Amino acid sequence: MNFLRHNFPILRFEEEWGTVKEPAVVVTFDDGYADNFLQALPILEEVGIPATFFISTGLLGSGQEFWWDEMERLILGDHADPGPFRLDDHQYGRSWPTLNRHDRLALHADLHRLAGKIGASRRDYWLEQLRAWAGLNRNGREANRPLTPEELRLLAASRWTTIGAHTVTHTPLALLTEEEQRREIVDSKKQLEELLAHAVTVFSYPFGTKKDYNRTSIRLCREAGFRKAAANFPGQSHRWTDPWQVPRQLVRNWDMSTFAAELSSFWA
């Protein structure tokens, strides 16, 4: 964050960028992990960097993990092997051996990939089956938990932060019917606005690659009263960029020199 602060103008996601002349940076976070409040906010405030947090509302305060984290905990955790995992599903149902690490990694890779192709209630049923298989409950790991409503309110109260919506269940919108998409988009906006008592005008698509949303998603976001939406494919934003598909560069857990090198490649 210090490197960004010293090298670039830093804008807010919701601002109009049309008159920006030099390369500038916008910082965003997706999903709504508790560490956004616990770890990121103190750094942003200390360095003086504005950031937008796109929040999935379905698990706020639940102490449960997002589905990809729970899937990882249930399959790759160090609990004893309960025997082969049999998935009950009309399309993908089958059995996987789980004897060793290799088996578990294969099971995890398969289910993680397939879960990206199904809706939320079917995915919840898969997780239920995994919990029963592993003999574990829904309680998530502290490091992975979503924000509580109170933490979200405190995060939102900072002058450096903007809160955006990121659906309720974090399902790829392109998988859903128009009505289901509308619920995901409108309900997450409403839930955030009720909690924060102010308007929420920006959105980001779950997963956010061009396969994960469609024209209907964009229209529904516009109709819901959003002003701009973030996607998740790499690129720069220019005057001619579609404000409903703002590209973003994913930043990993890099050390400083890698970050600096990757960042300069973003401008290439």
Q: Rule CB under 5 A: which residues touch Zn ion?
A: 30-31
Which one, 30 or 69, has the nearer CB to Zn ion?
30
- In the bound state, the residue with its beta carbon closest to Zn ion is 30
Nearer to Zn ion, 66 or 133 (CB): 66
| CA-based R_g, the chain, Å | 20
Distance of closest approach, residue 205 Cβ to Zn ion, in angstroms: 8
Cβ at position 47, least distance to Zn ion in Å: 24
Identity of the residue, 129 or 169, whose beta carbon is nearer to Zn ion in the bound complex: 169
Look at residues 153, 158, 166, 164 and name the one whose alpha carbon lies nearest to residue 49: 158
Our CB check for Zn ion shows the closer of 30 and 151 to be 30
Query: What's the closest the beta carbon of residue 202 comes to Zn ion, in angstroms?
Result: 14
With H, G, I as helix, E, B as strand and everything else as coil, classify residue 169.
coil
Q: Concatenated DSSP letters for 26-84?
A: EEEEEE-BTHIIIIIHHHHHHHT--EEEEE--TTTTT-BPPHHHHHHHHHHSSPPP-S-
C-alpha span between 109 and 127 (Å, rounded): 14
Residue 32 beta carbon to Zn ion: minimum distance, rounded to whole angstroms: 9
Question: Look-up: residue for tokens 């300069």?
Answer: 264
